Amino acid sequence: MSSKPKRQLWEEKNMAEALRNVRKKKMGWQLASKIFNVPATTPRRRFKNNCNSTKGDWGGKRPVFSREMEDQFAQHIKDMEAKLFGLTLKDLKTLIFEFASNNNKKNPFNKEKETAGDKWIQGFLKRNPQISLRTPANTSAARAQAFNKDNIALYFKSLNEVMEKYNFPPENIYNIDKFGLSVVQKRPQKILATKGRKQVGALSSAERGQHLTVVCCMNAMGTFVLPAFRFPRKRMKNELMDNAPMSSKAYCQLNGWMCSEIFVQWMEHFVHYTKACNENKVLL
């Protein structure tokens, strides 16, 4: 049974010190090797190739890109994901191939398909554990544009003022959200994103196919208001509500999206369910 090769057992800080002393001509390779406990040939090679003291992959093949270049790739991936234009694996392979070609970097990439290989991608992700493959949530351009620092600050300022004024109990604090279900729903492709991020989004188009909207509402105690459904049709059919929660509301509107008229009707449903009035103020 073969054992793992005993390579790269040296400390990076020791290698950095060895390189620094040799570059300043304070000592030679052999002496630096003994004092800092590093292989004699490694600092010599790193000095000749102008490499740093970071450990790399084992083997004789030189990496296609430097550590600094790969750091820039990783940062670009995180920047694109933060802007809701996350890169897929296919995007990254094409980008890496183009970068290597434009900068005359020797590489083992596929010249016919003009993409980087799977092995390089796997190695890159292994060397950059802060990046992982995630499935993003579709995010509309309008929502992305409205989600900015000024709007968020104004929201929390208004929330703080109304909370201090009325001191709502938790059972009277409600949150509402709506989501669309498409009859041609397509799962978004996985993208490269920052590891550990709770929510990952990607811009999407919402004009394809028919949609129905579901509105859900719950208070801070965990009590739900019965959901409401909006169907993309002129007339209602009772069969559409089969197996829906009892006493749920159903509305019809041609495109299935929320509109002012239907929202007012839902508000009447909300007020009736929560018993909101001047004597029993409710925060939505």
For residue range 145-158, list pLDDT tens digits in order: 777 888 889 999 99
pLDDT band at 21 (very low <50, low <70, confident <90, very high): confident
The pLDDT of 206-211, averaged and rounded, is 56
13 pLDDT more than 90: no
Q: What is the pLDDT of residue 66?
A: 87
> 24 vs 199, which has greater pLDDT?
24
Report whether pLDDT(283) > 90.
yes
Q: Which of 185, 231, 176 is nearest to 206 (CA)?
A: 185
**CB contact burial 167-198 (16+ within 10 A = b; e otherwise):** ebeeebebeeebebeeeeeeebebbbbbeeee
Per-residue pLDDT tens digits for 97-107:
999 999 998 88
Across 2-11, 132-141, 187-196, 250-259, least confident range: 2-11
Domain residues of the chain, as ranges? 67-134, 162-183+207-284
**Out of 28-32, 261-265, 275-279, least confident range:** 28-32
Strand order of the β-sheet with 249-252 is 174-182, 211-219, 224-231, 249-252
For the whole prediction, is pTM greater than 0.95? no
Distance (Å) of CA 100 to CA 52, 120, 137, 209, 256: 21, 12, 32, 40, 48
Q: With both helix axes pointing from N to C terminus, report the angle between 67-82 and 89-102 in degrees, rounded to the nearest 10.
A: 140
Confidence of residue 116 (pLDDT cuts 50, 70, 90): very high
How far apart are alpha carbons 21 and 98 in whole angstroms?
38
